[in-house]
Amino acid sequence: MEFYVEGSPKIKKFVESLLPSMLEQLKLTKSKKFLHIKLDRELEDLGTVVPLSGLDTYLVVLKPVKNLWELGATLAHELTHVAQFAKGTLKVTRNGKKWNGKFYHRNYPYLQQPWEVQAFSKQEIIVRRAMEQ
C-alpha cells in the first residue's frame, strides 16, 4: 500500500516511521489502494477514516496530539479500520455501517460497535510492535 503523510515535519516523520510495520501487521502491504494521512488540528475526534472509493484511496485524518504514544495508538486504531474496509468486513451505508453483513444504525453505541471493539483491542499491540522496530 502506497501512502502519503501530510502535516508538520516532526509529526509527519514519526507517522512515516510507524507505517511500514503497522501496514505489515495489518496485512495491507500488498493492497493496491492508496493511503492518505492528514494531520488536522481542527478535527474534533482523535482520528477518523474516510474511504474514497472512486479514488481507490483511504483518507485517515488524525488530530496531531503532543503525546506521541497517543498519536501512534490512534494511528494503529484508524489503520485497523482501513484493514476492515479493505477486507470488506466493514462497509459504510447511508444510515450506518455493515459489519460482516449485519447492519448497525449510526446511533448504535460507539463502544459496542464490533469494528470499534476490534480496533481498540488491537491498537496497543500494533503500536508497541511498530515502536520496537
pLDDT in tens, 109-128: 999 999 999 999 999 999 99
Q: Pairing relation of β-strands 57-62 and 102-105?
A: unpaired
Residue 53: per-residue pLDDT: 83
Dig out the grid coordinates for 51 from the structure. Answer: 474511504
Which amino acid, 21?
S
> Cell match 502535516: residue?
7
Query: Which residue in 100, 116, 132, 118 sits closest to 22, CA to CA?
Result: 132
- Segment 3-58, tens digit of pLDDT: 999 999 999 999 999 999 999 999 999 999 999 999 999 999 999 999 998 899 99
Using a 10 angstrom Cβ sphere, with 0-12 exposed, 13-18 middle and 19 or more buried, the burial of residue 90 is buried
| Predicted pLDDT at 21 | 98
* Spatial CB neighbours of 112, under 8 Å, sequence gap ≥ 6: none
Please give the grid coordinates belonging to residue 123: 491498537
**What is the three-class DSSP state of 96?**
strand
Residue among 84, 25, 34, 42 at smallest CA distance from 59: 34
pLDDT at 133 over 90: no
